[in-house]
Each structure stands twice: as structure tokens, then as C-alpha cells.
Structure 1
Amino acid sequence: MSTPPPALPPVRTAVVGLGWVARSVWLPRLLNSPAFTVTAAVDPDERGRAAVTGPEGAGPTGLSVLASVAGLDPAEVDLAVVAVPNHLHCAVACELLTKGIAVFLEKPVCLTSQEAERLAAAERAGGTVLLAGSAARHRADVRGLYRAAERLGEVRHIELAWVRARGVPDRGGWFTRRSLAGGGALVDLGWHLLDIAAPLLGTAAFRHAIGTVSADFITRASSRAAWRDDDNDAEGEGEGAGEGAGEGAGDAAGRGGTDVEDTARGFLVTDDGRSVALHASWASHEAVDTTRVTVDGSAGSATLRCTFGFSPNRLDESVLTRTAEGTTRRLAVPAERVGAEYDRQLALLPGLLHDPAAQGRAIAEARRTIGAIERVYTSARAVQEVRESAPV
């Protein structure tokens, strides 16, 4: 009779960045999980620290509340969950990795291909691991889509769309400023969409990428995300590009401090001839927030319709169908509460920290994702430059 593997000790965890995603998603789950012990919380902003400690300045028992990651000791911290604004992801993660502290980094993992290489170097230098925080592929309905895709033969084409009726985050704050966020809906929602496509595409690189961006909704008060408290939040949402990201979306000064897109569309082709159509929108003409993923294969197709994220303006249920030889059949999808994918992803982290094969894996996927995003923005910028130079 085989002996079960010994139970792993609780992961001593620091939470870095105490904004919306940390307070609403990660801290409650970490504090309630016996697999983790939250030992530290870090935020340079006094308001962020106060949100954890409360009015009396006392946080949960054993929790150190710090203003900088410089105060984190790798002898006392196994993992840092990093949920800072996008433009700080690379710098903060590199500092922690170089110290030898493993990092679970909220998406987007990086904003440029150059940042991806900096993260890879820091991971190697510290002899530890970078893990990526993009939870959508851990949803029960997405896992059902993956199972359905196993019966579709060779994957030929994937359509990825996450279109919100209204859901512009932090309008006029860092989330809608290209220098701080790296881009708009493409970086925020598009990263999730490309992440769920990764298991279906394998390791093939993108050979071609074109795209467009627009910003028709971003300054409308009615398009703002209703489930966030952005007026009192200095951080970002974990539902979250390269240089030039968001160009073509308009001038910041003319849009109340916003210079990113609310909508992006792209078309990608891999080295082995498969295609990906991408549509990411923070706001639209639609009635409800809808995510749609279709996988076309040589032996059939499968489509998932659902709503990603925490928006209350969502479809009533997830619907997964498979079509082959003219017949469409609905497949069973287990119901789950909103946010269950984050619990599922968190449960995997202790094992990944002890998996030698995990090192470099997140970076490899991030390289491909940010490379595609950069090229879509480059394509959109080129079209915008032609349009602006055309005679009136």
C-alpha cells in the first residue's frame, strides 16, 4: 500500500498592493484557506494600509503591514501575491524574485516584451518561480469547453470575445491612462481571452497579427463599471502592452485624462496555420456583459456563452454547445458561484511552488501574449497614423 505524500506546510504569504482586487479577491481567500498563512501586507499608500488594519491600526493577528517590499524577508515569506497597478508589475515582481521570493503576479504579467525578459532574468537570478494570475481558464465552464475541444479533431480557428454592456474601470484614473495601465480593454480583458486560448493552441507562436482599437464609450458616465468603488481605490481589478498601447483611442487631454481604448479587435495566425479572432470591449451597445468562445475543429465546433468576471450585469447561466454534421447539442455545465475560479487557482499554488517544471512556464506564455498584444496595437497605430495624415 503506497504512502500518501506528506502534507505541505502552509505557504507564508505576503499580499503586495491593497486595492480592489487584493481586498475583494485575494485577501479573503488567503485568510480563509488553511493552505496559506498571510504574514504581511504591503502598500506605499497609507489609505491602502488603513483598509487592512482598520481605524485602530491593528490588522489580523501576526500580520505585518509595510510600506515597501524592501521590508519582506525571504526567510519569512514563501510567496508574494502582487496586485499593484500595471506599470509597477515588472519592477515589484523583479525585486521580489531577485530576493528569492516566489511571486504570484496579477495579469497583465508584463506590459512589453522587454519587461518579459526582465522578469525571466529575475526569476533565474533568484532561483525561484513566477506564477501568473489569470483565473479564467480555471472556470468550470471553460474546463468543460476544453473537454469538448478534445472531440473536435484538429483545432483550426478560435473566436474569443468578452464584450461588456458597461464596465469601464476607474475612468480617468490609472486604469485608463496608457502610461500606467499599458493599454485599455485589450490589455485588461484581452489578456484573459488569450490566456484561455493557450491550452488550445499549444506552443505555436503567432506569425501574423493585425487589429483595430476605438474609444466610443470610455467617457460616458453610463459606461462605468458599477461593481467597483474606484473613487476610493488606488489599485486595479484582476480581470485585467507594449509601447504605443492604446494609440488610436484618442488624446488624453481631450478625453478627461483617458488615452486608452475601450474596444479592441484583432486577428492572429499561428506558425502552424491556426487563426484567432479577438474582441475585447469594456462597454458596448449590448444589454448584458457576454463572453463568447468558439473553437472550430476538423471534426466539429464548440461554443461557450457566459459572463467572465464579477459584473452583476451578466447572463443568467453558462451555455456550452457542440456542433457536428449539422446537429447542435447542449452539453452539461455545472453551476458555480461567481469567483469560484479564483478559489480553484489558489488551491493549485502550493503544488506549483514545489514543481521544478513551473519555473519559466508563466514567462513563456507571457512572451507570446504580450507579443501578440504589442503587434495588435502596432497595427492599430499604423492605421490611425494613415487616417490622421489623410487630407480633409
Structure 2
Amino acid sequence: MKVRAAVVGLGWAGRELWLRLLSEHEDFEVVAAVDPDPASRAAAVAMGVPAHTTMDALGPRTVDIAVVAVPNHLHAEVAAALLRRRISVFLEKPVCLTTAEADALAAAEQNGGILLAGSAAAHRGDVQKLAELLPQVGRIRHVTLAWVRARGVPQPGGWFTQRSKSGGGVLVDLGWHLLDVLTYLLGPAPVTQVIGSVSDDFVSSGAWSATWREDQPTDVPAGNVEDTARGFLLREDGISVSLQASWASHEALDASVITIEGSKGTARLHCTFGFSPNRAPERVLTLTREGTTQQIPLPAEPIGTEYGRQLDGLAGLLADPGRRGVAVAQARNTVQLVESFYASARAARPADHAPQFAPHR
């Protein structure tokens, strides 16, 4: 029997990703879509999906799981409401924006549906190949994580760049993916020290926008979040981490780079996460030991494969009672790290020179 799925939120991700991917996947039947915007609902109806104005039309007798793709500030509220209705939820990052929201989700999940968190980058074939190299690098000492776009600010002036709706800038957006990859590669560990800095040189100019998203122009002239975040983290297990996330830069191409330095070698992946057309020409994974660098073959896969791959095991996760509480616990750890990062960045800059990034209070 197929899993009955609904998509809540029909922005770019809801329309272009989840409606299509769920419709194409053999494990799912898309039974409903929800969005207050008439044009968005019309797009769903054109795909043969019944569309509704509110979540009142969804219930546990007709929907097994809801994929939530609403703006960040609504993630926890919408997910909690669905969980309380005993509808399980698949929620893309960020799962929540504050520890208080994490607590609310935990309470809603306790006697309701199961919360599952999306983490696309960890499902990439090249990231999985990188994970296979870890035994060969020995004891891990340091990790460098970077996702730097050439031009990729999402809808300048839209909700992504308004801290009241996004919860933060590129750190909450791209940085969350990088932190998820870190946990996938190394396992969870408390972060004991965080030093962070942010800047906003590009966020208020449409010239640096993510054109592939086809966002509609907005009459809000500027954003008030950071477009670049740089930080240094120290985990409780002694591993240090350098992190950089940028929506825009002076580079010609977008690049995602993960470098893992160990006692016996260094593994490095150079690729491009996401859907940007400004991509690195090829994905390269290398292993360097004692002065010799070996290039590791990578599986061929179309752009965006990792998003559909998240759905492959979703039906099994829904049936596993051990998944209850896992997504919330991981999200709480990430939110606490993000809060510490922003606190460090605020302390490092005079108030009259600092970007107005999210305070996460």
C-alpha cells in the first residue's frame, strides 16, 4: 500500500521539488496540497492534486505524512499542528529556529505523529563516497566545510532575507546543510567552543540573486540578514571545524568543499550542492597520504538526485517507533550551535557596523 502524502506550502520547493518527486516515487500517492495562494493551488490542481486553502482539510484517516515546505518562521508551528493531528511530518531544514520551538515540537510529537527531518546533502553519492574514505584518514583532527555561491541570494527582499521570517541568513540556510553533513560524517558531538563572524555585502542587491529559483520581484528594498558566515568550532571529541557559507561572492562558480584531515591522510570533496547553474565543471574526490594524491571515482547522478533519494527510505522510517524524538534532538543541537554562532558574531562587531542578523532569542 502506498504512503498517502500531502504537500503543505507550494513555494519553489513545494512545487518544483516535493510535488514532482512524490508524484514520481513508487512508494507515495500525493493526495492533497495546501497553500493560501490561489495561483499556487492552481498549479497543484494542474498536476492532478487536490488543493486546499488550509490544513483543516487534512486528517490522519486520509494522510499518512505531510511534507512541510513553508517559510522558515512557520516550520515549527505548522509541523506541530500536524503532529498533534496524528499526521507524521517530513520537514526540511531548518526544523526549528529556537530551542523553545524545539520544545514545542517535542511536546507535539510525544502523543502525535512522527517528525522526520530532511537533510539532502547527506544523501549525495559523492558525500557517501567521502564517508567511505574516513577509515583511511586515521584519527580525524580537523574538518573544513564550505558552500560558497557566486550569485545565489534567494529572492532579495523576500522572506529568506527578512530575519523575522527566516530566523537568520545563509547560516540558517546553507550552513544548516553543512552542519548536517558534519553530523553524518562524524556522528553527533557537543560543540564546546564557537567563534563566528558574519557580513552582508551582497544581500541587499538584486544583482546577486539566485536566478534559477525564478522568484518573483519584491517591493522590499533590502534584506536584514547575513549573506556570509564564517566560523570556527571545537567539538567535545577534540575535532576542530572551519565553516564558511556564502550566498554570494566574487567567485565565478559555486563550490561546495569538504576537507577531512586525519592522522594518516586527508580526504577532500569539491563539488556543488543544490541546483545552481553556476556549477563546478566536475565533482572531484581525492585522498592524499604521504605526498601522494589519488582521485577516487564517483558515481554519476543527475543534479538534485539527493532530494529524491531522501524519499527512498521514508516509508520504513515512518514505521519505526525508534525514530520518535530523534529529529527534534538533532535539531535542538543545531539550533543551540547557531545561537552560539550568532552570539559570537554580535559580540565581535560594534553595533553600528554589524549586519542585522537574527538574534535567536
| Counterpart-to-counterpart distance in 2, 1:388 and 1:185 | 19
| Counterpart-to-counterpart distance in 2, 1:47 and 1:280 | 33
Please tell me whether residue 80 in structure 1 is matched to residue 63 in structure 2: no
The 5 Å alignment of 1:44-193 reads 44-54=36-46, 60=48, 63-126=49-112, 128-193=113-178
Moved more, 86-95 or 30-39: 30-39
Please tell me whether residue 371 in structure 1 is matched to residue 356 in structure 2: no
Please tell me whether residue 297 in structure 1 is matched to residue 262 in structure 2: yes
> How has the CA–CA distance of structure 1 residues 96 and 189 changed in structure 2, closer, same or farther, with 3 Å as cutoff?
same
Counterpart position of 1:316: 281
SS of the aligned residue for 1:161 comes to strand
Is contact 1:321-1:330 (8 Å) kept? yes
The 5 Å alignment of 1:197-208 reads 197-208=182-193
Is contact 2:44-2:50 (8 Å) kept? no
Deviation at 1:52, TM superposition (A): 1.5
Is contact 2:205-2:222 (8 Å) kept? no
Deviation at 1:140, TM superposition (A): 0.5
SS of the aligned residue for 2:193 comes to strand
| Counterpart-to-counterpart distance in 2, 1:341 and 1:316 | 18
| Counterpart-to-counterpart distance in 2, 1:184 and 1:168 | 10
SS of the aligned residue for 1:213 comes to strand
Is contact 2:149-2:249 (8 Å) kept? yes
Deviation string, structure 1 residues 267-300 (Cα, Å, up to 9, x no partner): 1111121111110000001010000000111221
Counterpart position of 2:16: 24
Counterpart position of 2:348: 383
| Counterpart-to-counterpart distance in 2, 1:24 and 1:160 | 27
Percentage of identical aligned residues = 55
TM-score by length of 2: 0.94
Structure 1 residue identity aligned to 2:108: A
| Counterpart-to-counterpart distance in 1, 2:217 and 2:54 | 21
SS of the aligned residue for 1:197 comes to helix
Please tell me whether residue 13 in structure 1 is matched to residue 5 in structure 2: yes
Counterpart position of 2:31: 39
Counterpart position of 2:272: 307
SS of the aligned residue for 1:47 comes to helix
Deviation at 1:387, TM superposition (A): 6.6
| Counterpart-to-counterpart distance in 2, 1:320 and 1:189 | 21
Deviation at 1:209, TM superposition (A): 0.9
> How has the CA–CA distance of structure 1 residues 203 and 98 changed in structure 2, closer, same or farther, with 3 Å as cutoff?
same
| Counterpart-to-counterpart distance in 2, 1:182 and 1:212 | 17
Moved more, 37-46 or 219-228: 219-228
Structure 2 residue identity aligned to 1:135: A
SS of the aligned residue for 1:27 comes to helix
Deviation string, structure 1 residues 39-86 (Cα, Å, up to 9, x no partner): 1100122222122124xxxx51xx431111122111111000000000
Deviation string, structure 1 residues 239-273 (Cα, Å, up to 9, x no partner): xxxxxxxxxxxxxx9x9231001100111111121
Deviation at 1:198, TM superposition (A): 0.2
| Counterpart-to-counterpart distance in 2, 1:150 and 1:41 | 44
Is contact 1:107-1:191 (8 Å) kept? yes
Counterpart position of 2:227: 262
How much is the aligned-residue C-alpha RMSD, in angstroms?
A: 1.7
Is contact 2:203-2:222 (8 Å) kept? no
Counterpart position of 1:358: 323
Is contact 2:155-2:217 (8 Å) kept? no
Counterpart position of 2:357: none
Moved more, 283-292 or 203-212: 203-212
| Counterpart-to-counterpart distance in 1, 2:268 and 2:226 | 27
SS of the aligned residue for 2:277 comes to coil
Is contact 1:212-1:380 (8 Å) kept? yes
Structure 1 residue identity aligned to 2:118: G
Aligned to 1:328, which of 274, 284, 293? Answer: 293
Matched length: 354
Is contact 1:322-1:331 (8 Å) kept? yes
Structure 2 unpaired stretches of 5+: 355-361
Is contact 1:155-1:200 (8 Å) kept? no
Deviation at 1:340, TM superposition (A): 0.6
| Counterpart-to-counterpart distance in 2, 1:110 and 1:138 | 21
Moved more, 187-196 or 357-366: 357-366
SS of the aligned residue for 2:30 comes to strand
Deviation string, structure 1 residues 353-372 (Cα, Å, up to 9, x no partner): 11122112211221111111
| Counterpart-to-counterpart distance in 2, 1:134 and 1:84 | 16
Structure 2 residue identity aligned to 1:199: Y
| Counterpart-to-counterpart distance in 2, 1:27 and 1:333 | 29
| Counterpart-to-counterpart distance in 1, 2:18 and 2:242 | 31
Deviation at 1:226, TM superposition (A): 1.4
Structure 1 unpaired stretches of 5+: 1-8, 234-252
Deviation at 1:96, TM superposition (A): 0.5
Structure 2 residue identity aligned to 1:300: G
SS of the aligned residue for 1:196 comes to helix
Deviation string, structure 1 residues 334-355 (Cα, Å, up to 9, x no partner): 1211011112111111111111
Is contact 1:264-1:281 (8 Å) kept? yes
Structure 2 residue identity aligned to 1:13: A
Structure 2 residue identity aligned to 1:34: E
Deviation at 1:386, TM superposition (A): 6.0
